[in-house]
Amino acid sequence: MGIPDLSCSIANYFGRELELDEDKTDILRYGFEVIIGEGLKVISIFVMASLLGLTPYVLVTFLTVGTYRLFSGGYHSETYSRCFIFSMFFFLGMGKITQLLLPYFKLSVAQIITLIFIVFVWSLWIAIKWAPAETPNKPLAEDEKADKRNFLLSGSCFGFW
């Protein structure tokens, strides 16, 4: 049984129990599909990172990319298996690159904090300027573009208001 079948079964169960219509049950199905799929992906990434001795590097990459993805929407593959494979290579690869390059950078805590701040501000500027971006697998309607840009500019994505 694959993720879509399992998600459908769980959603149908809750749909019957809660007497939900077909649209609401489909929303549940999609939610379960995302939760199960992403959960398996995250667990797999960190199991592999642990086996390869890359856990702290992959964790930092995961948190950094995850934060940035809140603004940008991220990359969308055509299939779940492509997304899974891309994510595995990306996070494990970035972790390995970080592990290999880290010994060449001898930075103080103040320099690291300054670098983090500069990269954060630069990334935020990029996200505000170009997000949302369309991909062939996830085109955006004009109202979605306006809504997302207004969300970014309002500061509500940071919990300020």
Tens digits of residue pLDDT in 25-58? 999 999 999 899 889 999 999 999 999 999 998 9
Please tell me whether residue 39 adopts helix, strand or coil conformation.
Answer: helix
pLDDT at position 161, please?
35
Tokens linked to 114:
């300054």
Within 13 Å and on the Cβ side, how many CA atoms surround 84? 14
Q: 35-39, 55-59, 63-67, 140-144: which has the minimum mean pLDDT?
A: 140-144
Tens of pLDDT, residue by residue over 78-126, are 788 888 898 899 999 999 998 898 888 887 878 878 887 887 788 777 7
Please answer whether residues 51 and 88 qualify as being in contact, where contact means their C-beta atoms are separated by less than 8 angstroms.
no
The CA-atom distances, in angstroms, between 108 and each of 64, 95, 105, 114 are 20, 21, 10, 10
Closest to 136 in 3D by CA, of 86, 78, 82: 78
The set of residues, in sequence order, having a beta carbon less than 8 Å from that of 68 and lying 6+ positions away, is 123, 127
Beta bridge partners of residue 135, listed in sequence order: 138
Q: How many residues does the chain have?
A: 161
This prediction has a pTM of: 0.67
Please answer whether residues 152 and 128 qualify as being in contact, where contact means their C-beta atoms are separated by less than 8 angstroms.
yes
Beta bridge partners of residue 138, listed in sequence order: 135
Cα dihedral 2, 89, 41, 127 in deg (nearest 10): -120
Indicate the domain borders of the chain.
1-106, 107-160
